[in-house]
Structure 1
Amino acid sequence: MVTLEELAIQLFDAGAVRLGDIEAKVGRRTPVYFDLRVIVSHPGIMVAVSEHLQRLASEIDHELLCGVPYAALPLATVMSINTGTPMIMKRKETKLYATKKMIEGVFHKYQQCLVVEDVVTSGGSLLETVTTLRDEGLRITNAVVVLDREQGGVSVLKANGVHVLPLFTLTNLANILRDAGRIDDETVDIITEHIKVSQFGTKDNFE
């Protein structure tokens, strides 16, 4: 298995970490954007990310896996295949015909489901998936994620009964990339300042 440091560099070189004045959700600006969708074109990186998430998942009691749509779906799929853990899928919208289900796959009430996510910022997307799964009678107490942007989302999720285990924090990722010569000290300082001034709380709007 590649180390987390090697994985961070691979993600950067593959374009999963983008720098600049980038528009994020609902018009917010960010100096660093994490786009894991690109790794579907890099099977080796996708396997490496999934293996590291499996390492975190091995410490958590769970019977099912569910990836937050859409970026985390391939990761949850690889984890399911590698470990033999059944997977379920949350739809983005209710199916309008036949079963009209929000959750695809086989599951039973009160089963423990581990949620897989790519990035946590405000925590809104992950919390939406957790709420849907809980509405179906599943137990959700943990999530494994690739990146915690350290902007308050993990605290929001904790307040809603979900403990988040990340592979990277944004600070940790920036320091690895600086030490590897991929970014400079000035960029690290910009990212650090962005974390300080871009915090979400439990009362924020998670659109």
Structure 2
Amino acid sequence: MYDKQKLIELVKSLSLKFGDFTLASGKKASFYLDCRKLTLDSEGAAQVAAGMLELLGDDLPDAVGGMAIGADPITAAIITTAHFQQKKLKGFIVRKESKAHGTGRDVEGPVVAGDSVVIVEDVVTTGGSSLQAIEKVVAQGIEVREVIAIIDRLEGGAEAFAAQGYKLRTLLTVRDFGIEPPAQ
């Protein structure tokens, strides 16, 4: 069962660090959210999966997935939790770089052209990683419904998705930790 307050406490204890950081977007920040420490913790993974399934509601896509490596534990937790809730849901992984051997696919898993999917993400800053994942998924003929993330840093990601026709929904924002985003 999803408990927002419990998730906030878990993020604070496992993932939220203060200092001087450079984010994947290249932006400088005074705090960092290492959500792999959350999603690779059994209780954290359970809260994230339950919350994301609650966000998805009854109109499930065919699959959930996103850019490796950050989305991988989220995807696994969601599809496992869906199974225990008797919901049918597949997962997929988007490679950052195409592999030169095997099938050479950018999108791995049991998804096929025509499927509808939701991109999952741990932390959204500018949305760059998920926009790359969307591009690779759409190139395979797969329909992207939206993006769902654990935390929005409120630094332009939602607007970047909206500009491409996608909605961003999140379980939390930085304001849930008493952090005000920088003025844009």
Query: 1:85 deviation in Å?
Result: 0.6
Determine the C-alpha separation between the residues in 2 that align with 1:85 and 1:137.
18
Deviations 1:62-92 (A, max 9, x none): 1111132212211111111221311111112
Q: Bigger CA drift: 57-66 or 150-159?
A: 57-66
Determine the C-alpha separation between the residues in 2 that align with 1:96 and 1:20.
39
Determine the C-alpha separation between the residues in 1 that align with 2:68 and 2:4.
24
**AA matched with 2:31:** V
- The runs of at least 4 consecutive aligned structure 1 residues that moved more than 4 Å come to none
Query: 1:108 deviation in Å?
Result: 2.2
Partners of 2:49 and 2:74 within 8 A in 1 = yes
Determine the C-alpha separation between the residues in 1 that align with 2:58 and 2:33.
26
Partners of 1:112 and 1:139 within 8 A in 2 = yes
TM-score between both structures, scaled by the size of structure 1: 0.80
Q: Bigger CA drift: 100-109 or 120-129?
A: 100-109
Q: What is the root-mean-square deviation of aligned Cα atoms in Å? A: 1.7
1:128 counterpart (109, 132, 140)? 132
Larger Rg: 1
**Which residue of structure 1 aligns with residue 96 of structure 2?**
92
Query: 1:160 deviation in Å?
Result: 0.5
Structure 1 residues 137 and 2: alpha-carbon distance in aligned structure 2, compared to 1, 3 A threshold: closer
Determine the C-alpha separation between the residues in 2 that align with 1:140 and 1:64.
10
Partners of 1:17 and 1:34 within 8 A in 2 = yes
- 1:7 equivalent to 2:7? Answer yes
Determine the C-alpha separation between the residues in 2 that align with 1:106 and 1:26.
30
Question: How many residues are paired up?
Answer: 179
Partners of 1:123 and 1:153 within 8 A in 2 = yes
**Which residue of structure 2 aligns with residue 31 of structure 1?**
30
Query: 1:39 deviation in Å?
Result: 2.5
SS in structure 2 at match of 1:25: coil
**AA matched with 1:165:** R
Determine the C-alpha separation between the residues in 1 that align with 2:67 and 2:57.
19
- 1:164 equivalent to 2:163? Answer no
Query: 1:26 deviation in Å?
Result: 6.0
Partners of 2:61 and 2:117 within 8 A in 1 = yes
Query: Which structure carries more strand by proportion?
Result: 2
- 1:174 equivalent to 2:161? Answer no
- 1:49 equivalent to 2:48? Answer yes
Structure 1 residues 61 and 54: alpha-carbon distance in aligned structure 2, compared to 1, 3 A threshold: closer
**AA matched with 1:122:** T
Structure 1 residues 195 and 20: alpha-carbon distance in aligned structure 2, compared to 1, 3 A threshold: same
**AA matched with 1:174:** F
Partners of 2:19 and 2:30 within 8 A in 1 = yes
Query: What percent identity do the matched residue pairs reach?
Result: 23
Query: 1:59 deviation in Å?
Result: 5.4
**Which residue of structure 1 aligns with residue 110 of structure 2?**
106
Query: Which structure carries more helix by proportion?
Result: 1
